[in-house]
């Protein structure tokens, strides 16, 4: 079995090499970015799986995933990322990833997930997908595209609340500026969390910034 690790952090590559290389019969290659990965794949055509980080210099992981899927459609590409919110997972799977593994996983969980991917199953973290994903969540083909809150199924008022959240306003400040009760603001915030597939303000801000949500 032959696996290519595409990860720009040397420490993470070394850790993955040790974990994956400890299995008998496995050959592990490593690349620090998509460009180097493509060079390796051009020279060697017998890889069983690619383990791809999302946060890569030069070419981001989503663009790399698309490129690898187009050039090597029969070779499974599994995403390994520290960003494991539901919109990111959904976007990766919609772009053809054979699985999604959070970097927070233990070595044992990582090996189990890879085994499932190699067996033809699409692995994703069940703990991150317990709630039904928002069917209105857009599937972006352009990582730099800016979206309006309505494209996430948010109402105009919820969009206003989200924009103020991004500015760091508290529920009380939002209530005062929008002339709402704090209870109503809390209801809007809960709806925003559900639409974005998150459970906290910090996660909502990360997702909003990643998708370029604008007023």
pLDDT of residue 141: 41
CB 81 within 8 A of CB 113: no
Q: Is 171 exposed, middle or buried (0-12, 13-18, 19+ CB in 10 A)?
A: buried
pLDDT tens column, 160-175? 999 898 888 899 999 9
Model pTM greater than 0.85? no
pLDDT tens column, 126-148? 765 544 444 445 544 444 456 67
Where do the domains of the chain lie, and which CATH numbers do they carry?
A: 2-128 (3.40.50.2300), 149-210 (1.10.10.10)
Supply 197's token pair.
Answer: 């597939």
CB 133 within 8 A of CB 94: no
| Dist. CA 26–CA 194, nearest whole Å | 41
pLDDT tens column, 3-50? 999 999 999 999 988 888 876 678 899 999 999 999 999 998 788 899
Q: Give me the residue label for tokens 């069917």.
A: 135
Residue 49: in which H helix or E strand, if any?
strand 49-53
Rg (CA), the chain: 20
List the beta bridge partners of residue 31. Answer: 6
Residue 19 CA from chain centroid, whole number: 22
| Dist. CA 93–CA 143, nearest whole Å | 15
Closest alpha carbon to 87 in 3, 172, 197, 181: 197
> Which tops the pLDDT comparison, 183 or 205?
183
């Amino acid at each position: 079995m032959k696996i290519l690790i595409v990860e720009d952090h040397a420490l993470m590559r070394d850790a993955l090499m040790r974990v994956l290389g400890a299995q008998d019969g496995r050959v592990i290659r490593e690349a620090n970015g998509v460009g180097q990965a493509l060079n390796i794949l051009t020279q060697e055509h017998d890889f069983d799986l690619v383990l791809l980080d999302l946060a890569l210099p030069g070419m981001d992981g989503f663009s790399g995933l698309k490129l690898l899927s187009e050039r090597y459609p029969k070779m499974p590409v599994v995403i390994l990322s520290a960003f494991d919110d539901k919109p990111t997972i959904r976007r990766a799977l919609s772009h053809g990833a054979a699985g999604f593994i959070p970097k927070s996983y233990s070595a044992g969980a990582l090996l189990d997930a890879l085994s499932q991917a190699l067996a033809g199953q699409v692995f994703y973290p069940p703990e991150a997908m317990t709630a039904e994903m928002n069917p209105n969540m857009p599937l972006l083909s352009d990582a730099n595209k800016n979206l309006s809150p309505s494209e996430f199924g948010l109402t105009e008022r919820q969009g206003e609340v989200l924009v103020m959240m991004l500015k760091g306003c508290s529920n009380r400040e939002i209530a005062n500026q929008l002339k709402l009760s704090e209870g109503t603001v809390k209801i809007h915030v809960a709806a925003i969390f559900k639409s974005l597939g998150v459970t906290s303000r910090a996660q909502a801000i990360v997702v909003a910034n990643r998708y370029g949500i604008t007023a």
